[in-house]
Chains A and B, each alone.
Chain A
Amino acid sequence: MRQYAYFPGCSLEKIGLSYNISTQETAKKLGIELKELEDWNCCGATAYAHVDELLAYTLCARNIAIAERENLDLVAPCSACYKNTFFTNQYLKKDPDMADHINYALEEDDLHFSGSISIRNLLEVFTEDVGLEEISDSVSQPLKDLRVAPYYGCQILRPKKDGEEIEQPDFFENLLSAVGAEPVDFALKTRCCGGSLLISSREAALSMIHNLLKNAEDSGAAVIATACPLCQLNLECYQNQVNQEYGTNFSIPVVYFTQLLGLAFGIPNKRLGIGSELIAATPLASFAKK
């Protein structure tokens, strides 16, 4: 039984609720135990590091320290949570002075960061730890002829970690193929969705989202699969505004990859959050468990 310390992050509590439940359902199906971190806190998202770097690291260090107490690797479905936590882990391991400084604060909570665990993202847990074979074996309803645009987003790949392929990765496509779907050649698959840019610069953000939607449509995708709640939010919820701004009429459903996996595993729609989207995931209807 594979065990991980589970860090849902703020988004998965509300706006990314379908990500949360579909993750838990698919994990259970694959024999992974996700033990939610006790009393976890926000990772600081994209904004905090620019306000106060030290405090931003401390936020993530606290979560890591809690996971270390359980002696389990930490998995974060949200790309921003993953990126923040991963790099905090890396920097503190390299800089013992900063780690000491932060541990001084963590001690107030009887916590201690020691750099003993790894930080994982959900995609790599599925593709590397579980493996494509086991995933294929768990498929009861292959997503045949479902054309999916694999949207990695930017924070899973960048900053570059260890010589991995960031221009043309293929692990997301492999995962989709393993459940019988047809990943399309999505040129902008690693491009940023704008993140929280919508708040500060609406025009720039809408332009980025427009490019992504157009490219996904041009690639012939019926649905876009994401691994990050903010990507999902930007691409789905603002399609209307993009249409207004650019005179387009996009209507592409944007789902979480775990929802697709769950569908292929035969888990009912309700337990995956399918049906709660703004843009109806009609292409998925034929695969739903009756």
Chain B
Amino acid sequence: MSEKVGVYICHCGSNIAGVVDVEEVAKWAGEDLNNVTVSREYKFMCSSLGQELIEDDIKNEGLTRVVVGACSPHLHEKTFRRACSNAGMNPYLCQMASLREQVSWVVEDKEVATQKAKAMIAGAVERVQYHEELEPTEVPVNPHTLVVGGGIAGIQASLELADAGHPVYLVEREPSIGGHMAQFDKTFPTLDCAACILTPKMSDVGAHPNITLLSYSEVEEVTGFVGNFHARIKKKAKYVDEELCTGCGICIEKCPKKIIDHVFEVGMGYRKSIDRPFPQAVPNYPVIDTASCTYFDTGKCKACEIFCPTEAIDFEQQDTYLDVDVGNIILATGYDLFDVNRMPQYGYGRLENVFTSLEFERLCNASGPTDGKIVLRDGVTEPESVVIVHCVGSRDEHHNSYCSSVCCMSALKFGHLVIEKTDAKVYSCYIDMRTNQKGYEEFYNRLLEEGMQFVRGKVAEITDAARIPEEENKLIVQVEDTLLGIQRRIPVDMVILMSALEPRSDAGEVGLQFGISCSMEGWFTERHPKLDPVATMTDGIFIAGAAQGPKDIPATVAQGAAASARVQGMITTGVVEIEPVVATITEDMCSGCRICNTLCPFNAIEYLEDKEVSYINTALCKGCGTCVAACPASAITGAHYNNEQIFAELRGLLFDVTSGNGAKAPKEAPEPVSV
């Protein structure tokens, strides 16, 4: 029994109708194409009236297939599928032809465009008759969530999920949560003390019954699919028994080995071999750094073990592994700072008093290496003049072309702290002042009034080669003052480099591990840059915070909350619908060659050892068709894109050069074109 196809040509205002003769195409489809029961054109098919046209025809004309010639399926495939299912027809029996993006928007000549539109409609009409009724599958969603990264993004996401009653595993690779925010002194624009606003949240995380905090741990392996992930977490040995440790800190006091802390104190301060990163660490258990510990080196000392009142030191402790099942994963792994050694003209390392932004944060921090005093590297001398260099490694063709978003505000914050804590004169050398969020412009004005000086120019060089007596024993900042139109040499005591934010050095590997991709710069790729910033192309994996791109704390918190909201939605719904446009392997035809296994970009194909055939996980399969094309035995079929459907579409597209097949071919063959 032949199908009854309804054809609908959308004007899309003048978008399509302005180029394609839509009345002609609709008329032609109704008259010349086989099995077309109704053929209409309408100004806006996506409107409710347009959709009603389809629904009414399905009911009244008994349509069994629908073709809509309109915009791209990206926009309205869902709309028209829904209209069909509202009228009781399986949504996959509807096919769209993109007459806008693929015809009217790219073809100038109206006749050629109309002809192309006809071809596309013919193709869709041919194809749709081979469509099958498909049903989406449902998989349950595990209510547990894995949050990777215990900075402010991960903390926010975890708290929101936990407060909603859902269990969370929070994995953090450092001994304490807090991330980079814990290293800061003050936060802009409110000048809140970073620790004061962060530690209550850290405390909540530590105490929350729904959060399992796995610090000093890393995710080793992830398998599974949305709603059903399985993760193996490595808990690195701390050599401290968490059950017994009270966090009293005697071990730290008694430890005789002092080393430079390169992580939290960024090389500016010291730590003991057994130590916690900062006093308000959560959890508060110290960790032994085996590389510097005397016991691990020579077998002697053991001062910590001797003095510990609860016998919590355990030198025999091993790494342990924890296997967890979760429904969703949020990656909030944060950022690294640009290595300023890559810009030797700024003299970092060679010239003593050139500091990075993070080093300066530690200087200002009251629990930092100088107890919050802003002094030079000698630990004693207060600077009389400071230059803050913007855009070190950002907005730079040679390094990172993007803007790191937070440095202008951070520079203003530093300027304020210098003015508040010292008598020094402070300059900012900037390209633009980017102060575009709530309260930011006002903060800039505040600094203008506090007397901070602003030089518009990117610093060319920082040198100690003095030319005049005033420059002797100073750091000379060479910069073009573009507003004055002159070159300036500003002799100062201290220089602060606002280093760019960069993706974590292992972001690529982490991305691969979880099955998501990174952008060219290395940030995790969101599903849509404007409309879906926390989801990824992999269902069930979300991203939040600086790992997605440089941003300030308010934006980070918002993303952490957004990611948790998405996960909460999934948990509440309880099930996840998997699109049926997937590939299937016919077992009998599969020879187990496994060519498809490595080709699948979504790691959806596994090999069944016992049956010696490959198997596609429909939850992970995105229906891309790569395996379908590659299988040498043609053992794989792609639902909704099988051979019959594709050939039918080709026949339709070539309607004016092939005979029969539902369209009247021209009486003469077309003129050959001379080249």
Interface residues of A (CB under 8 A from B): 165, 167-168, 187-188, 211, 214-215, 218
State how many angstroms separate the Cβ of B625 from the closest Cβ of chain A: 41
Some 17 contacts from A to B, beta carbons below 8 A apart, are A165-B344, A167-B343, A167-B344, A167-B345, A168-B350, A187-B463, A187-B464, A187-B465, A188-B463, A188-B465, A211-B465, A211-B467, A214-B466, A214-B467, A215-B465, A218-B465, A218-B466
Interface residue ranges of B341-366 to A (CB < 8 Å): 343-345, 350
Query: Cα distance A205–B344 when bound, in Å?
Result: 26
Contacts of B463 in A (CB 8 A): 187-188
Contacts of A214 in B (CB 8 A): 466-467
Most chain B Cβ neighbours within 10 Å, of A168, A187, A218: A187
State how many angstroms separate the Cβ of B349 from the closest Cβ of chain A: 10
Query: Cα distance A249–B8 when bound, in Å?
Result: 92
State how many angstroms separate the Cβ of A251 from the closest Cβ of chain B: 19
Contacts of A168 in B (CB 8 A): 344, 350
Query: Cα distance A188–B478 when bound, in Å?
Result: 13
Query: Cα distance A167–B461 when bound, in Å?
Result: 10
Contacts of B344 in A (CB 8 A): 165, 167-168
Residue of A nearest to B343 (CB): A167
Contacts of B345 in A (CB 8 A): 167
State how many angstroms separate the Cβ of A209 from the closest Cβ of chain B: 12
Query: Cα distance A211–B467 when bound, in Å?
Result: 6
Residue-by-residue, is B314-355 near A (CB-CB < 8 Å gives 1, otherwise 0)?
Answer: 000000000000000000000000000001110000100000
Residue-by-residue, is B456-490 near A (CB-CB < 8 Å gives 1, otherwise 0)?
Answer: 00000001111100000000000000000000000
Residue of A nearest to B350 (CB): A168
**Minimum-distance CB pairs A-B, first 6:** A187-B465, A167-B344, A168-B344, A215-B465, A167-B345, A188-B465
Contacts of A218 in B (CB 8 A): 465-466
Query: Cα distance A187–B350 when bound, in Å?
Result: 10
Contacts of A211 in B (CB 8 A): 465, 467
Query: Cα distance A259–B345 when bound, in Å?
Result: 31
Query: Cα distance A214–B345 when bound, in Å?
Result: 20
Query: Cα distance A188–B464 when bound, in Å?
Result: 10
State how many angstroms separate the Cβ of B266 from the closest Cβ of chain A: 22
Residue of A nearest to B342 (CB): A167
Residue of B nearest to A214 (CB): B467
State how many angstroms separate the Cβ of B471 from the closest Cβ of chain A: 11
Contacts of B464 in A (CB 8 A): 187
Query: Cα distance A171–B466 when bound, in Å?
Result: 25
Query: Cα distance A165–B345 when bound, in Å?
Result: 11
State how many angstroms separate the Cβ of B478 from the closest Cβ of chain A: 11
Residue of A nearest to B463 (CB): A187
Contacts of B350 in A (CB 8 A): 168
State how many angstroms separate the Cβ of B4 from the closest Cβ of chain A: 64
State how many angstroms separate the Cβ of B323 from the closest Cβ of chain A: 45
Interface residue ranges of B257-274 to A (CB < 8 Å): none
Contacts of B466 in A (CB 8 A): 214, 218
State how many angstroms separate the Cβ of A192 from the closest Cβ of chain B: 14
State how many angstroms separate the Cβ of B498 from the closest Cβ of chain A: 19
State how many angstroms separate the Cβ of B399 from the closest Cβ of chain A: 13
Contacts of B343 in A (CB 8 A): 167
Query: Cα distance A139–B381 when bound, in Å?
Result: 46
State how many angstroms separate the Cβ of B396 from the closest Cβ of chain A: 14
State how many angstroms separate the Cβ of B451 from the closest Cβ of chain A: 32
Query: Cα distance A191–B10 when bound, in Å?
Result: 67
State how many angstroms separate the Cβ of B463 from the closest Cβ of chain A: 6
Query: Cα distance A18–B37 when bound, in Å?
Result: 98
State how many angstroms separate the Cβ of A201 from the closest Cβ of chain B: 16
Interface residue ranges of B411-466 to A (CB < 8 Å): 463-466
State how many angstroms separate the Cβ of B392 from the closest Cβ of chain A: 14
State how many angstroms separate the Cβ of B226 from the closest Cβ of chain A: 43
Query: Cα distance A59–B465 when bound, in Å?
Result: 39
State how many angstroms separate the Cβ of A243 from the closest Cβ of chain B: 16
Query: Cα distance A165–B343 when bound, in Å?
Result: 10
Additional A-B contacts beyond A168-B344, A211-B465, A211-B467 (15; CB < 8 A): A165-B344, A167-B343, A167-B344, A167-B345, A168-B350, A187-B463, A187-B464, A187-B465, A188-B463, A188-B465, A214-B466, A214-B467, A215-B465, A218-B465, A218-B466
State how many angstroms separate the Cβ of B335 from the closest Cβ of chain A: 25
Contacts of B467 in A (CB 8 A): 211, 214
Residue of A nearest to B398 (CB): A160
Query: Cα distance A188–B463 when bound, in Å?
Result: 9
Residue of B nearest to A187 (CB): B465
State how many angstroms separate the Cβ of A234 from the closest Cβ of chain B: 17
Residue of B nearest to A216 (CB): B465
Contacts of A215 in B (CB 8 A): 465
Query: Cα distance A68–B398 when bound, in Å?
Result: 35
State how many angstroms separate the Cβ of A158 from the closest Cβ of chain B: 13
Contacts of B465 in A (CB 8 A): 187-188, 211, 215, 218
Query: Cα distance A187–B343 when bound, in Å?
Result: 15
Query: Cα distance A173–B557 when bound, in Å?
Result: 51
Query: Cα distance A215–B467 when bound, in Å?
Result: 8
Query: Cα distance A217–B60 when bound, in Å?
Result: 99
State how many angstroms separate the Cβ of B145 from the closest Cβ of chain A: 44
State how many angstroms separate the Cβ of A239 from the closest Cβ of chain B: 17
Query: Cα distance A186–B343 when bound, in Å?
Result: 18
State how many angstroms separate the Cβ of B672 from the closest Cβ of chain A: 36
Contacts of A165 in B (CB 8 A): 344
Query: Cα distance A215–B466 when bound, in Å?
Result: 7
Query: Cα distance A168–B347 when bound, in Å?
Result: 10
Query: Cα distance A215–B464 when bound, in Å?
Result: 9
Query: Cα distance A215–B344 when bound, in Å?
Result: 18
Contacts of A187 in B (CB 8 A): 463-465
Residue of A nearest to B349 (CB): A168
Contacts of A167 in B (CB 8 A): 343-345
Query: Cα distance A214–B471 when bound, in Å?
Result: 13
State how many angstroms separate the Cβ of A285 from the closest Cβ of chain B: 29
State how many angstroms separate the Cβ of B666 from the closest Cβ of chain A: 47
Residue of B nearest to A210 (CB): B467
Residue of B nearest to A215 (CB): B465
State how many angstroms separate the Cβ of A188 from the closest Cβ of chain B: 5
Residue of A nearest to B468 (CB): A214
State how many angstroms separate the Cβ of B371 from the closest Cβ of chain A: 33
Residue of B nearest to A185 (CB): B350
Query: Cα distance A49–B463 when bound, in Å?
Result: 32
Residue of A nearest to B341 (CB): A168
Query: Cα distance A215–B465 when bound, in Å?
Result: 6
Most chain A Cβ neighbours within 10 Å, of B350, B463, B465, B467: B465
Residue of A nearest to B467 (CB): A211
State how many angstroms separate the Cβ of B155 from the closest Cβ of chain A: 40
Residue of A nearest to B345 (CB): A167
Contacts of A188 in B (CB 8 A): 463, 465
Query: Cα distance A171–B224 when bound, in Å?
Result: 54
Query: Cα distance A214–B465 when bound, in Å?
Result: 9
Residue of B nearest to A165 (CB): B344
Query: Cα distance A168–B350 when bound, in Å?
Result: 10
Query: Cα distance A167–B350 when bound, in Å?
Result: 12
Interface residue ranges of B513-558 to A (CB < 8 Å): none
State how many angstroms separate the Cβ of B262 from the closest Cβ of chain A: 23
Query: Cα distance A167–B467 when bound, in Å?
Result: 20
State how many angstroms separate the Cβ of A224 from the closest Cβ of chain B: 14
Residue of B nearest to A191 (CB): B465
State how many angstroms separate the Cβ of B473 from the closest Cβ of chain A: 11
State how many angstroms separate the Cβ of A159 from the closest Cβ of chain B: 14
